[in-house]
Amino acid sequence: MSLKRLVDVGTVSQLLKKNIINKEGVRLLDCTYEHSLVAQKPDWRQFKKEYYGNFERLLGLPCPSKELYLSGHIPKAPHLCLDVALYPSQYERFALYPPELFQEYIQMTGIDAGEHLILYARGMFGGMLHASKFAWLFKTYGHEKVSLVDGGFDEWVKQGFEVSKDDVKLKVEPQFGKTGTLIPTELVHSQRGSWKASDNFSKYNIKFEQLEEQHGERKYIEWTDDLNLLDSRVRGQFEGTVPTGCPPSVTGTHIPGFKNIPAAELVEEGLTRSPEEIRDYLEVHGFKADRPTVIMCNVGLQAAMLAYAIESAFPHNPIQVYNVSVAAENGLKVR
């Protein structure tokens, strides 16, 4: 099935009515995340020792994001959690696992290879922030068949569509206890899917070492005339008038040469602007479609959202996201 990169809630409703979701190679995934957790970075040393790649244990921890999901979601959508799919490293709030580990988590969800994934979330920036991060993650691991639900769960509710509170599991066969009683679905594990990850890290992401790499007389990060160097944070964080939120006490700042194009400004009244409006907005703010693009923010969320939007408007523009939480921690010069 061919689906647009951005689908409206009406399209999702029709897919559900036609019984296409979780059939015919189409999955609907809820990427709800409790955003206050962004500022609560776990101790990275302890996490590496006790939880790194241990998805069974991670899924057994109390999860505010899962609680939000269980308070109401689009029917037939299981939950994916950023705090399981990613891990805290020394410099990153959301570091990327090697492909084989991310693959294990996605297979545990019951997703198969080649399926078209429709992602949505809720809350800030029209519900696009956390869903966009998962979209960029899937692209990073080689899965391009991805769509986002415009407006997310909030738009779904606004339009009066049905809401479920089930803990959806994919590929669950009915199981019975010793007394013949049916075991509740939420206590049964999904059968593993066949989804496979590949390594597209360098295509869609850029590391500190690459930014600092010397190219002739200049570092790559200093090629301001040859690259779109974009800071996707809200203007107050870029200008240093409000805290970044991660860590909570750090006031906003920015790297010289980066242009501020806030991802938040691509959403209007809870919905994403059209590709034409995004193109016009980007060009007015100095974006050049013939130049490679590097995007940063605080923890890689707003950057992924802007990256997905730019790719929708300029599909041939090469885009890399810088995923580190606070640039100054890695020694980049800031203002």
Active site residues per annotation: 297
The end-to-end CA distance of the chain, in Å, is 48
Nearest to 154 by CA among 185, 191, 129: 129
4, burial (CB in 10 Å: exposed 0-12, middle 13-18, buried 19+): exposed
At which residue do the structure tokens 């922030």 appear? 129
Cα–Cα dist 332/94, whole Å: 19
* Phi, psi values for residue 118, rounded to 5°: -105, 120
Extract the runs of DSSP E, i.e. beta strands, from the chain. Answer: 6-7, 26-30, 116-120, 146-149, 205-206, 214-215, 218-219, 228-231, 259-260, 267-268, 271-272, 293-296, 319-322
